[in-house]
Chain A
């Protein structure tokens, strides 16, 4: 059941999920992808660089995340480490607060009756 309503949900929440991952600790591209796939693949589907990187660029453009480039011995190049800016932190807190109210509100529309009916 991979309809486009589900796609919309996934798309909409990915930004917040990325902000959460980056907000928890400074992290880099491959680690983000790995964590997404280890913890969210069953629900969100497999994360791809082609989806994640464009969002990272957007978050960076919006001034929500910042990055620093550090040399990486293992891959002979460099790694870009992402962290939240103060503005990003503020936005994430707002999003988390809203998410709580949002799920509560949607749940109230679903109601016990419809939930039971759907799970039957």
Chain B
């Protein structure tokens, strides 16, 4: 009964992880103290009110450090992901622009290759390109999810 109540509060509480943990700890103390003083779990739950209302009142009072509502968070994540994708693609394009095809006359690539290559063959442009692709896919998936959930409502 107590476990279920606490789980429900946890589910409805929109707070950063640390604040959430604090609230859960306090709830455990509330139950423990009440039981210690001869009350039943049901009595405590009656006094606490529904988990939804308790979670809501609690989150409200944490003011300022509250997490954004879920919808705003999704929108924010899409914007950030899209921005990352754009920046990554732009960087990728500019690095590509500087690339010279293999074997071009006058580039003396036989000499410079000796210095540049070897060790960890980290292909920075490719990594940036992949970051861009992942961010873009993430943004698209999020948008699709929002559209589907709106459409279902």
Contact = CB atoms under 8 A, between A and B. Distances in A.
The 5 nearest A-B residue pairs measured at CB: A75-B32, A30-B33, A54-B61, A58-B61, A57-B61
Interface string B54-74: 100110111111000000000
Given A48-B49, A75-B35, A75-B36, A29 B30 contact: yes
A74 interface: yes
A89 B28 CA distance: 29
Contacts of B32: 72, 75-77
Contact of B48 (A28, A48, A58, A74): A48
Most chain B beta carbons < 10 A, residue from A34, A53, A74, A79: A53
B152 interface: no
A55 B29 contact: no
Contacts of B30: 29-30, 49, 53
Given A49-B48, A50-B47, A50-B53, A57 B58 contact: yes
B63 A58 contact: yes
Nearest to B19: A57
Contact of B29 (A29, A48, A58, A61): A29
Contacts, number: 67
B64 A61 contact: yes
Interface string A42-71: 000000111101110110010000000100
A116 B35 CA distance: 47
Interface residues of B, number: 26
24 contacts: A28-B29, A28-B33, A29-B26, A30-B34, A49-B30, A49-B47, A49-B48, A50-B47, A50-B53, A50-B54, A51-B57, A53-B26, A54-B57, A54-B60, A54-B61, A61-B65, A72-B29, A72-B32, A75-B29, A75-B36, A76-B32, A78-B29, A79-B29, A80-B25
Given A29-B26, A77-B29, A78-B29, A54 B58 contact: yes
Contacts of B37: 30, 34
Interface in B5-34: 23, 25-26, 28-30, 32-34
A108 B123 CA distance: 81
B61 A75 contact: no
A12 to B, nearest CB: 15
Nearest to B53: A50
Contacts of B25: 69, 78, 80
